[in-house]
Chains A and B, each alone.
Chain A
Amino acid sequence: MSDPRFIRNFSIIAHIDHGKSTLADQLLLRTGAISQRDFRNQVLDDMDLERERGITIQMHPVTVYHTYQGQKYELNLIDTPGHVDFNYEVSRSLAACEGAILLVDAFQGVQAQTVANAYLAIEHDLTIVPVLNKIDMPIARPDAVIAEMEQAVGVKPEEVLRASAKTGLGIDEVLAAIIERIPPPKGQPEAAVQALVYNSHFDTYKGVVVYIRVMQGTLRKGQRIKLMRGNTEHEITEMGQFRPTPTGCDSLSAGQVGYFTAQIKNLSDVHIGDTVTDALHPTDTALPGYKEPKPMVFSGLYPVNNNDFEELREALAKLRLNDSSFTYQPEVSEGLGFGFRCGFLGMLHREIIQQRLERDSELDLVQTAPNVTYEILSRKGEILEIDSPQKVPDAGQIEEFREPFVRINFLLPAENIGDLMQMCSERRGVYVRTEYLSPTRAILVYEMPLAEVIYDLYDKLKSVTHGYGTMDYDFLGYRAADLVRLDVLVHHKRVDALSTIVHRATADRRGRKLLKKLREEIDRHLFEVVLQAAVGSRIIARESIAPMKKNVTAKCYGGDITRKRKLWAKQAEGKKRMKQIGQVDIPQEAFLAVLESDQ
């Protein structure tokens, strides 16, 4: 049994790329948890996609031991992702800790995610250890950044440590501060068991691996336990800690962080945020738990070949085994046939899921443009949840159309405020306030429809601020707006998968742009292809694609025939990624044209 006095639990939080995973590397090396020989950069980022993209997608817990002033300490650290889509992982991690290292890049300074994550830590009552990272960089501006940290999140300048996760400079001071400043966990090893489930993953051989932080009491191998949410009982078959590879142990007591398996077959049987207790001597109080992350962005996913529907279903089910934050439900589109409506936490999450699907299965897929979830109050007084433009009822049945609003914080160079304000007002943003971190950097706060945020606001922000602006947003609630469904007719046939929900005032402009874009994406056909945009029965724009004029190869003699046949096969292959609607071949890109017709 470990003495809680010699345990420290903390997360590493920061804006994207400020060096969290690199700092974790240093801590692993310095404490000997990993040898120089086994070391590779960002060693905890072990998923293929994480390594490829150089970002953290999932939280990574790890246990290390460090001797400080003659005393051995158990340090449980959790590396967290910096991207806003995976913010819920940060909240989950923080609930398992007493402290957080807040890293700030000494050149980039305070960014949107720095502020958002610092406030999350403060909400959880955690002790913050502020660390200025990357001070080895010649362009580092430590004093200015420390001033920003003081202004933005209220840290005391004298408490800020200066380090380089890359060179190892200042790491001993960071370790000392972890032990000195972060309070030890409060629980009693002898009390009734109370452990927080802060994460889980599925293992083909062992079933669900449950990640826990023991708050009170002691869990032992072989013990009968109860998951309080579902009131299900299981027996612990294996338990241990990540060091960083899973390393077995016989017990985990108050203050410790680790995992157990109990032959649980289904990931959905384990709720993140649930409380684990002893089956015979249960605690009376469950831990508060978490809010479930809710998918914010939806899009349709269809197999190009309708026969692949079942295969797609299997592939989605397999993916969901390890990512319960994404959802899917069968849906039928007139144009695209049978497919699924999938929900994602954000655009990066969507991209990652799509990439995994394409990698794991050989399916050719068509993905429709993403949309947010809307609410409609019907004339009958019902509230309908609309996660697809196809579900919008006739205008006559709608009492009120509502869309999700977010509060969005931009952190940007003061000189770009004017440009950004203009961009926000074009996107129906409502100004809230401006705060200055320094004469040159400011926080700009807006309330804005989520639909205006998800597609490309981030890219636009980057271009307006030459890369120096960042943003972060929180869900506020639903607000009524004058929304309509914008339909597209291709050759007089409505293509439901091309419908979008837009503000009435922008419908005409969006319709015209969308058609222009579609015109570029759809190849010429043997006949004139007519494209129309409509709101209800009103046609608001029209374009046409002139028929092909000349398309014939001059020669076809003996030796050319084999070559020609190969060419035909190649063309047929190209057609595979297209959907035929009516007689028109529509390429995958066309379904995404909706996105680019935004401005």
Chain B
Amino acid sequence: MNVLPPWQWPRAAYIHIPFCAHHCGYCDFAIAVGQDEQIDAYLDALALELQTLGTPQAVRSIFLGGGTPSHLNCAQLERLLVLVRRWLLLEAQGEFSIEVNPDSMDEAKVKVLADHGITRVSLGAQSFHPHLLQVLERLHGPDQVARAVEWVRQRIVNLSVDLIFGAPGQTVADWKSDLDRVLALEPTHLSTYGLTYEKGTPLWKQRERGLLVALDEESEWQLYREAIDILEEAGFEHYEISNFARAGYRSVHNQVYWANEAYFGFGMGAARYVLGRRETNTRDLRTYLRKILAGESAIFQSEELGEEERARETLAIQLRRAEGIARCRFRLQTGRELDELAGEAIRRQVELGLLRDEGETVALTRSGKYVADAVIERLL
């Protein structure tokens, strides 16, 4: 049993599978395209990296993210799941999630996932409009989403769907119909991400060259507001800036991040936060394989924050949650008083109607959510 608190010692683990069939236009994750022949070596490396745990660890959540974990074939998937479960012991009622893409799913894969204890599937649908999927440079079409959902649902109840809004040319009508169609699939959880143009991505390059026009702030705001209105109306709780859940279906794993608690990380480009230290593995597949297979560490960035910095970071991250920051818990976790750090700024944001101060907790109001980054910036 571990006696350290969850912001020190992890109760959650992230495992990164970088392989994808193709590079989507907006994507700047750590990915590997056209290198499927490396998958087996990668699983070897993961096995070695997991072994560095020494003893198997009990966790409440495991998250297999990507890249595209579902890009692995059945045998590879099976090997991955067995491997992960050998080192990470899921508590009863624990969450075991995997990210999948509609175009790489089939019934057989669903069976492997369910048979090996996957409890939650996160499906990257992004849009139901062919023209927007094309702008985003996604591989799949709208019907593949419905089919994938059907297969998953035969075995796994807890289903999350990702949507992207704010693609160039998207109208409010487009977005409303996306929301209608996703609700018809009856997911337990939804993530709606406003499109960002990350430096170096294909979409970013197109925007730089003037080949596409990004939506303006007003339109983005309208789409975001529609999402909150429609999904709340449909009975979802807006529990984090981009996330909505039916009662009892919040993502355990993501809540670890937003509480600024500790987590393990394995795989190329994976981040971990253990004993107050942040580390990130190399984002280069070859380097990752070479290092790990040689028995070395694949860490390329690591830092340990001072107490004050850690407290401010906790403030910034926790404020993204619907429940915001609980003063008492904040003190316990960071050793700092919230009001000493940002009391005056909080009062000011409350006056502007962007924050709600309920005595024990401080949280964003509806208007505050729209401009969360600016609000947070002023508290730092």
Q: Does B282 belong to the interface (CB within 8 Å)?
A: no
Give CA–CA (A556, B191) in the complex, Å: 12
Q: Does A538 belong to the interface (CB within 8 Å)?
A: no
Q: Does A549 belong to the interface (CB within 8 Å)?
A: yes
Q: B369 is contacted by which of A552, A564, A568, A571 (Cβ under 8 Å)?
A: A552
Q: Could you tell me the distance in whole angstroms from the C-beta of A580 to the nearest C-beta in chain B?
A: 11
Which chain A positions have C-beta within 8 A of B242? 554-555
Report yes or no: B370 in contact with A556, Cβ–Cβ below 8 A.
no
Q: Does A526 belong to the interface (CB within 8 Å)?
A: yes
Report yes or no: A559 in contact with B270, Cβ–Cβ below 8 A.
yes
Q: Could you tell me the distance in whole angstroms from the C-beta of A314 to the nearest C-beta in chain B?
A: 30
Q: Does B138 belong to the interface (CB within 8 Å)?
A: no
Q: Could you tell me the distance in whole angstroms from the C-beta of A545 to the nearest C-beta in chain B?
A: 13
Report yes or no: B348 in contact with A583, Cβ–Cβ below 8 A.
yes
With A527-B352, A562-B301 in contact, is A551–B280 under 8 Å at CB?
Answer: no
Q: Which of B85-93, B181-189, B215-223 contacts A (4 or more CB under 8 A)?
A: B215-223
Q: Does B196 belong to the interface (CB within 8 Å)?
A: yes
Nearest CB to that of B254 among chain A residues?
A557
Report yes or no: A558 in contact with B257, Cβ–Cβ below 8 A.
yes
Q: A571 is contacted by which of B195, B217, B377 (Cβ under 8 Å)?
A: B377
Report yes or no: A559 in contact with B280, Cβ–Cβ below 8 A.
yes
Report yes or no: B373 in contact with A553, Cβ–Cβ below 8 A.
yes
Q: Does B320 belong to the interface (CB within 8 Å)?
A: yes
Nearest CB to that of A560 among chain B residues?
B271
Q: Does A321 belong to the interface (CB within 8 Å)?
A: no
Nearest CB to that of A548 among chain B residues?
B371
Report yes or no: A555 in contact with B193, Cβ–Cβ below 8 A.
yes
Nearest CB to that of B371 among chain A residues?
A551
Within 518-561 of A, Cβ neighbours of B (below 8 Å) are at: 526-527, 548-559, 561
Give CA–CA (A190, B309) in the complex, Å: 77
Q: Could you tell me the distance in whole angstroms from the C-beta of A435 to the nearest C-beta in chain B?
A: 53
Report yes or no: A556 in contact with B257, Cβ–Cβ below 8 A.
yes
- Binary per-residue interface labels of chain B (344-358) against chain A in the complex, 1 for a CB within 8 Å, 0 otherwise: 000011001010000
Nearest CB to that of B348 among chain A residues?
A583
Q: Does A37 belong to the interface (CB within 8 Å)?
A: no
Nearest CB to that of B242 among chain A residues?
A554
Give CA–CA (A548, B370) in the complex, Å: 9
Give CA–CA (A367, B196) in the complex, Å: 36
Report yes or no: B371 in contact with A550, Cβ–Cβ below 8 A.
yes
With A548-B371, A549-B217, A554-B196 in contact, is A561–B254 under 8 Å at CB?
Answer: no
Q: Does A565 belong to the interface (CB within 8 Å)?
A: yes
Report yes or no: B241 in contact with A552, Cβ–Cβ below 8 A.
yes
Q: Does B360 belong to the interface (CB within 8 Å)?
A: no
Report yes or no: B257 in contact with A549, Cβ–Cβ below 8 A.
no
Give CA–CA (A559, B194) in the complex, Å: 18
Q: Does B96 belong to the interface (CB within 8 Å)?
A: no
Nearest CB to that of B349 among chain A residues?
A526
Q: Could you tell me the distance in whole angstroms from the C-beta of A567 to the nearest C-beta in chain B?
A: 9
Which chain A positions have C-beta within 8 A of B317? 556, 561
Q: Does A139 belong to the interface (CB within 8 Å)?
A: no
Q: Does A47 belong to the interface (CB within 8 Å)?
A: no
Q: Could you tell me the distance in whole angstroms from the C-beta of A168 to the nearest C-beta in chain B?
A: 51
**Which among A526, A553, A572 has the highest number of chain B CB atoms within 10 Å?**
A526
Chain A: interface size category = 20 to 34
Report yes or no: A549 in contact with B218, Cβ–Cβ below 8 A.
yes
Q: Does B128 belong to the interface (CB within 8 Å)?
A: no
Which chain B positions have C-beta within 8 A of A551? 217, 370-374
Report yes or no: B263 in contact with A558, Cβ–Cβ below 8 A.
yes
Q: Could you tell me the distance in whole angstroms from the C-beta of A285 to the nearest C-beta in chain B?
A: 69
Within 172-207 of B, Cβ neighbours of A (below 8 Å) are at: 192-196
Which chain A positions have C-beta within 8 A of B378? 526
Which chain B positions have C-beta within 8 A of A527? 352
Nearest CB to that of A572 among chain B residues?
B380
Q: Could you tell me the distance in whole angstroms from the C-beta of A160 to the nearest C-beta in chain B?
A: 57
Give CA–CA (A554, B320) in the complex, Å: 10
Report yes or no: A554 in contact with B241, Cβ–Cβ below 8 A.
yes
- Binary per-residue interface labels of chain B (361-380) against chain A in the complex, 1 for a CB within 8 Å, 0 otherwise: 00000000111111111101
With A558-B265, A572-B380 in contact, is A552–B194 under 8 Å at CB?
Answer: yes
Report yes or no: A558 in contact with B370, Cβ–Cβ below 8 A.
no
Give CA–CA (A549, B215) in the complex, Å: 13
Q: B380 is contacted by which of A526, A553, A568 (Cβ under 8 Å)?
A: A568
Report yes or no: B217 in contact with A550, Cβ–Cβ below 8 A.
yes
Report yes or no: B241 in contact with A550, Cβ–Cβ below 8 A.
no
Report yes or no: A561 in contact with B375, Cβ–Cβ below 8 A.
no
Q: Does B224 belong to the interface (CB within 8 Å)?
A: yes
**Which among B241, B349, B374 has the highest number of chain A CB atoms within 10 Å?**
B374
Give CA–CA (A550, B371) in the complex, Å: 5
Q: Does B37 belong to the interface (CB within 8 Å)?
A: no
Q: Does B42 belong to the interface (CB within 8 Å)?
A: no
Report yes or no: B257 in contact with A565, Cβ–Cβ below 8 A.
no
Give CA–CA (A517, B307) in the complex, Å: 43
Q: Does B303 belong to the interface (CB within 8 Å)?
A: yes
Q: Could you tell me the distance in whole angstroms from the C-beta of B238 to the nearest C-beta in chain A?
A: 13
Report yes or no: B193 in contact with A554, Cβ–Cβ below 8 A.
yes
Q: Does B273 belong to the interface (CB within 8 Å)?
A: yes
Q: B313 is contacted by which of A555, A557, A561 (Cβ under 8 Å)?
A: A561
With A526-B349, A549-B217, A549-B218 in contact, is A562–B303 under 8 Å at CB?
Answer: yes
Q: Could you tell me the distance in whole angstroms from the C-beta of A214 to the nearest C-beta in chain B?
A: 66
Within 268-311 of B, Cβ neighbours of A (below 8 Å) are at: 269-273, 278, 280, 301, 303, 309
Nearest CB to that of B313 among chain A residues?
A565
Q: Does B14 belong to the interface (CB within 8 Å)?
A: yes
Q: Does B316 belong to the interface (CB within 8 Å)?
A: yes
Give CA–CA (A526, B355) in the complex, Å: 12
Report yes or no: B196 in contact with A553, Cβ–Cβ below 8 A.
yes
Report yes or no: B374 in contact with A526, Cβ–Cβ below 8 A.
yes
With A554-B193, A568-B316, A568-B380 in contact, is A548–B374 under 8 Å at CB?
Answer: yes
Q: Could you tell me the distance in whole angstroms from the C-beta of A318 to the nearest C-beta in chain B?
A: 35
Give CA–CA (A561, B371) in the complex, Å: 18
Q: A558 is contacted by which of B14, B196, B218, B309 (Cβ under 8 Å)?
A: B14
Q: Does B258 belong to the interface (CB within 8 Å)?
A: yes
Report yes or no: B320 in contact with A556, Cβ–Cβ below 8 A.
yes
**Which among B265, B270, B272, B352 has the highest number of chain A CB atoms within 10 Å?**
B352
Within 229-281 of B, Cβ neighbours of A (below 8 Å) are at: 241-242, 254, 257-258, 260, 263, 265, 269-273, 278, 280
Which chain A positions have C-beta within 8 A of B316? 564-565, 568
Give CA–CA (A568, B316) in the complex, Å: 10
Give CA–CA (A168, B260) in the complex, Å: 74
**Which among B270, B271, B309, B320 has the highest number of chain A CB atoms within 10 Å?**
B271
Q: Could you tell me the distance in whole angstroms from the C-beta of A582 to the nearest C-beta in chain B?
A: 11
Report yes or no: B193 in contact with A549, Cβ–Cβ below 8 A.
no
Nearest CB to that of A554 among chain B residues?
B193
Report yes or no: B14 in contact with A526, Cβ–Cβ below 8 A.
no
Which chain B positions have C-beta within 8 A of A559? 30, 269-271, 280
With A557-B257, A559-B270, A562-B301 in contact, is A550–B370 under 8 Å at CB?
Answer: yes
Q: Please give the residue numbers on chain A whose beta carbons come within 8 Å of chain B beta carbons, in ascending order.
A: 526-527, 548-559, 561-562, 564-565, 568, 571-572, 583
Given contacts A550-B370, A562-B303, list 7 more A-B pairs with CB under 8 A.
A526-B378, A550-B220, A550-B221, A551-B374, A552-B241, A552-B372, A556-B320
Of all A-B residue pairs in the complex, the 10 with the closest CB atoms, nearest first, are A559-B271, A550-B221, A554-B193, A558-B271, A552-B372, A549-B221, A554-B194, A551-B371, A551-B374, A554-B242
Cβ contacts A to B, 8 pairs, < 8 Å: A526-B352, A549-B218, A552-B194, A552-B370, A552-B373, A555-B242, A556-B241, A561-B278
